[in-house]
């Protein structure tokens, strides 16, 4: 089941097709070092695998990697995509968890326990 766009909040993304990085300015309170780390992560992903990667928060505040590729993109590495995301989830676990906490507190209004 795909939730509607209004129930997702894009944090950032990169496209191998346009060779561009996007950062949602609603997150401008994040430190510059974190924004740079996200940019490196997204851009390296699209250079290695291809396609478009967006990092999005779902309605529960979980940070998800969303990958799309043009239908005729035979260079897109689907297996590499899954492996790269698993690698990021392991290597960047602390960063990803911190971003989820930030989102839940500042965007969803949850209290820290």
pLDDT, tens digit (0-9, with 9 covering 90-100), for 43-86: 999 999 999 999 999 999 999 999 999 999 999 999 999 999 99
Residue whose C-alpha is closest to residue 91's, from 40, 26, 19: 40
At residue 51, the pLDDT reads 97
Residue whose C-alpha is closest to residue 24's, from 69, 67, 56: 56
Both tokens assigned to 24? 């949602």
pLDDT, tens digit (0-9, with 9 covering 90-100), for 13-34: 999 999 999 999 999 999 999 9
At residue 113, the pLDDT reads 74
Residue whose C-alpha is closest to residue 108's, from 61, 67, 66, 54: 61
Tell me the β-bridge partners of 52. 15, 68
8 A C-beta contact, residue 51 and residue 69: yes
Residue 2 pLDDT greater than 70, yes or no:
no
At residue 6, the pLDDT reads 61
Average pLDDT, the chain: 93
Q: Does the model's pTM come out above 0.85?
A: yes
Alpha helices by DSSP H, the chain: 32-49, 78-91, 93-106
Residue 4 pLDDT greater than 90, yes or no:
no
């Amino acid at each position: 089941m795909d939730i509607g766009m209004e129930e997702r909040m894009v944090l950032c993304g990169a496209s191998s097709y346009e060779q561009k990085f996007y950062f949602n300015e609603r997150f401008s309170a994040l430190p510059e070092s974190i924004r740079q780390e996200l940019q490196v992560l997204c851009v390296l992903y699209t250079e290695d695998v291809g396609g478009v990667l967006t990092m999005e928060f779902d309605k529960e505040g979980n940070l998800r990697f969303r990958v799309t590729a043009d239908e005729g993109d035979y260079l897109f590495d689907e297996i590499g995509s899954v492996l790269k995301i698993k690698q990021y989830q392991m290597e960047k676990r602390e960063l990803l968890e911190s971003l989820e906490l930030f989102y839940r507190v500042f965007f969803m209004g949850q209290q820290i326990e």
